[in-house]
Chain A
């Protein structure tokens, strides 16, 4: 049970423990206050009783001396008639015992009938009769029996050393209760007021601390499986330990995320490099025999005479081989060594070249170039990149869609940004976007982006793609002056 309390979330633990810490002293103080008041009231009651007993014992002595029961009765009743109910030290009953320990007369004759043995009235009265002799003249004896609901004050009725009996005043402990209730009520009200102020503060403080802690605990629990989510911004802005912990966690998440991106990029580029190497190798291996085959076929055409059938077959073979050559050529991305520098005109050319395609699909092409002078970059390759990206964007666009293109210098790099509003790319597509034949569509062989990536990689540039808010954005950065 106790463990359950300790296992609770801070969300509950802090307000609960806080409340307990507030309530415990509040109740303790109230209890002390009530106990103190009880003692005071009891003391007052006893003091009043003692003085009352001293006042009454004189007239009672005389009444008993004359055996005037009625007068004694009237004397006993007089203090009861004047004391009102609000009297906090009200006397419950007054009883005179004679020397035979019988009831001489009582203010409550129904409970204490005349001449009945006091001890026969109950255990507490038996106990009292045993202590009658302890009450001395001028010094009333106070008897507070825990098991009894009454406090007794016993005073001898005597004069000049002659004792005629004993006056027993009884106070109901209950009589103090209304007063104690009033005090307890006030104490509880004060406690409730304090709690009404402190508990919400405590609760707020608990939430304030617990919620970031809970989120931290939750996020740290994710670390083993994946990069955890960031903390909710502004959840804890203070510079205490919790604030520092939150900051450290945020930093860690940032690092982890960065690392994950790097890892993914490395894996991707390694994979693409491997594919590039493989495809280049295969292309070379195909190209060599292919060139031989094409030469042989050419020879064959020359020497086959005018046989119509043979010529048709030969030219069919030749077309097939040429297609292979084209495909292989497309895969084999090789930077042309002897290329001139990129001029602004090249960019305009690319725009002109794709304009027809854009018109065909009714795509609105917004083209913007801030390139004003030549850049030390191979013009052919850059043109190829630009055309590939633009054609890809036009293809991805829906009819009537928009494609945007911004080209400019970014410090020492050429920056090409192409945006289209077509269907967004899911992350798993982006992952494999630059692999050959990744995007098979009706038009194109799916090598456009692969070629673009390979060229960019060869030019030590970077290519990034992001799909968000209905826009797919390709950004290519190629450092100027790069050579293959």
Chain B
């Protein structure tokens, strides 16, 4: 009799929690090629970590281009997204800065200009004039905005500096295209290239860095403007506290990140500078 009662109580609580979970809407988090978004196992672990910490269902929404993720943000289909710094600035009015990853002690990264390892003569971007060049994404700072800005700085027309260009829609794709010899050069996120150098040294080893950009604010996590303050803060807290949690720290280690900080829009001032140079913003 007593046992039955306990059972009934347990079933009740289980049902209650299920109903609660059902009524709380799932959080949609957009993932972009800003990171190595093909590390599916790591992303799955991170998602389950988030669900555990937030006590809510979390869904990762993968898109291969920034513009698609940006559209989803604008449409309110995503609550949060990890995007590049350049799209963040483009969406500044629609999103709030949620957190900035800390990479090698700083919330900063760079763009690398890489060439095939077989090319031993190129020393800088200037040597890549008239070549076939791979960009990552038209909304990537390190993979598009910076190299074009650098070309402009050389006094060239960024639209004609390269003979032919195309997009690989991911930073990893740029590394692959350069490694395969499909292009003479490419622009890639330093965080992605450094990670690849550890994860896939054979692939990264077939490329060579010829130029490094100044440091820019690391691709941030953003939230849509309309998100509730509670959800925003819960998410931000969860991210900032990852370093204090053993599982969170392990996930950060696998991301090769030191942690997350709140960040400041001023961090992205130099990117805005470049955008202004192209008449944007």
Contacts and interface: CB of A to CB of B under 8 A. Distances in A.
Contacts of B181: 109-110, 113
Interface of chain B, helix or strand or loop or mixed? mixed
Given A69-B166, A70-B177, A105 B182 contact: yes
Nearest to B118: A110
A434 interface: no
A115 interface: yes
Interface in A421-440: none
Contact of B177 (A68, A73, A110, A115): A73
Given A68-B166, A70-B166, A70-B167, A115 B132 contact: yes
A297 interface: no
B173 interface: yes
A67, A114, A115: residue with the most chain B Cβ atoms closer than 10 Å: A114
A109 B134 contact: no
Contacts, number: 32
Contacts of B69: none
A70 B134 contact: yes
A70 B169 contact: yes
Contacts of B169: 70
B68 to A, nearest CB: 14
Contacts of A114: 132, 164, 182-183
A114 B180 CA distance: 12
A100 to B, nearest CB: 13
Contacts of A113: 132, 181
Given A110-B181, A114-B132, A114-B182, A70 B168 contact: yes
Contacts of A109: 180-183
Contacts of A68: 166-167
Nearest to A73: B182
Contacts of B177: 70, 73
A73 B166 CA distance: 11
Interface string B161-198: 00110111100010001001111000000000000000
Interface in B173-228: 173, 177, 180-183
**Contact-residue size bin, chain B (C-beta under 8 Å from the other chain):** 10 to 19
Interface of chain A, helix or strand or loop or mixed? loop
A70 B166 CA distance: 7
Nearest to A69: B166
Nearest to B164: A115
Interface in A291-344: none
B221 to A, nearest CB: 27
Contacts of B163: 115
Contacts of B164: 114-115
Nearest to B169: A70
B115 to A, nearest CB: 13
A68, A70, A109, A114: residue with the most chain B Cβ atoms closer than 10 Å: A70
Interface in B142-171: 163-164, 166-169
A252 B132 CA distance: 99
B181 to A, nearest CB: 4
A450 to B, nearest CB: 116
A105 B166 CA distance: 11
B132 A67 contact: no
Contacts of A70: 134, 166-169, 173, 177
A122 B169 CA distance: 33
A113 B180 CA distance: 11
Nearest to B184: A113
Nearest to A115: B164
Contacts of A115: 132, 163-164
A77 B134 CA distance: 17
Interface string A52-85: 0000000000000001111001000100000000
Interface in B40-84: none
Interface string A88-114: 000000000000000001000110011
A59 to B, nearest CB: 15
Nearest to B163: A115
Contacts of A73: 177, 180, 182
A105 B180 CA distance: 12
B166 A67 contact: yes
Contacts of B167: 68, 70
B144 to A, nearest CB: 14
A75 to B, nearest CB: 13
A67, A69, A109: residue with the most chain B Cβ atoms closer than 10 Å: A69
A67 B167 CA distance: 10
A73, A105, A115: residue with the most chain B Cβ atoms closer than 10 Å: A73
B134, B166, B177: residue with the most chain A Cβ atoms closer than 10 Å: B166
A114 B183 CA distance: 8
Nearest to B174: A70
Nearest to A77: B180
A111 to B, nearest CB: 9
Contacts of A69: 166, 182
A268 B72 CA distance: 138
Contacts of B134: 70
Contacts of B182: 69, 73, 105, 109, 114
A214 B163 CA distance: 87
A46 B166 CA distance: 32
Nearest to B182: A109
Contacts of B183: 109, 114
Contacts of B166: 67-70
Nearest to B64: A71
Nearest to A70: B168
The 5 closest A-B pairs by CB, nearest first: A109-B182, A69-B166, A110-B181, A70-B168, A109-B181
Given A70-B168, A70-B169, 16 more contacts: A67-B166, A68-B167, A69-B166, A70-B134, A70-B173, A70-B177, A73-B177, A73-B180, A105-B182, A109-B182, A113-B132, A113-B181, A114-B132, A114-B182, A115-B163, A115-B164
28 contacts: A67-B166, A68-B166, A68-B167, A69-B166, A69-B182, A70-B134, A70-B166, A70-B167, A70-B168, A70-B173, A70-B177, A73-B177, A73-B180, A73-B182, A77-B180, A105-B182, A109-B180, A109-B182, A109-B183, A110-B180, A110-B181, A114-B132, A114-B164, A114-B182, A114-B183, A115-B132, A115-B163, A115-B164
